[in-house]
Amino acid sequence: MDGASAGALYAVPREARAVGAEWDRLAEASVRPPVFGPELIKDLPEPARRWLAHVVAPGTPLWRTAVVTMRGQIRLGAWRRFTAHQVITVPEGYIWAATHAVMFACVRTCSAV
């Protein structure tokens, strides 16, 4: 992914266009993550160092961001079908953007933290 732009990898979904710049900023954190190495755990207590060295291989990307697409049902009075896109970046925040049907209308919702 070196040299790639987050915008090209994770297009802003229609439901999140109002916060598109923020979506791009959060997704950008996933373009080039740092990698795990012994220097990151050198100051931890011995049991923690031993466990992390056992479960995480050197060079493993330390992703802070996930971009997720989901669909299912959500209870808004009655159960309604929905589709949603979410970008989560630790510790900066997240955006959850969904579309759901209410009667004959399509409702778009976006929530950001």
Per-residue pLDDT at 12 = 84
pTM of structure: 0.66
Distance CA(56)–CA(64), nearest Å, equals 15
Q: In whole angstroms, give the CA distance from residue 76 to residue 18.
A: 23
Residue 106 confidence class, pLDDT cut points 50, 70, 90? low
Locus of tokens 């220097």? 39
pLDDT score recorded for residue 6: 45
Condensed to tens digits (0 to 9), the pLDDT of residues 34-90 reads 899 999 999 999 999 999 999 999 999 999 888 899 999 888 788 888 889 999 998
Query: Pick the residue with more confidence: 7 or 12?
Result: 12
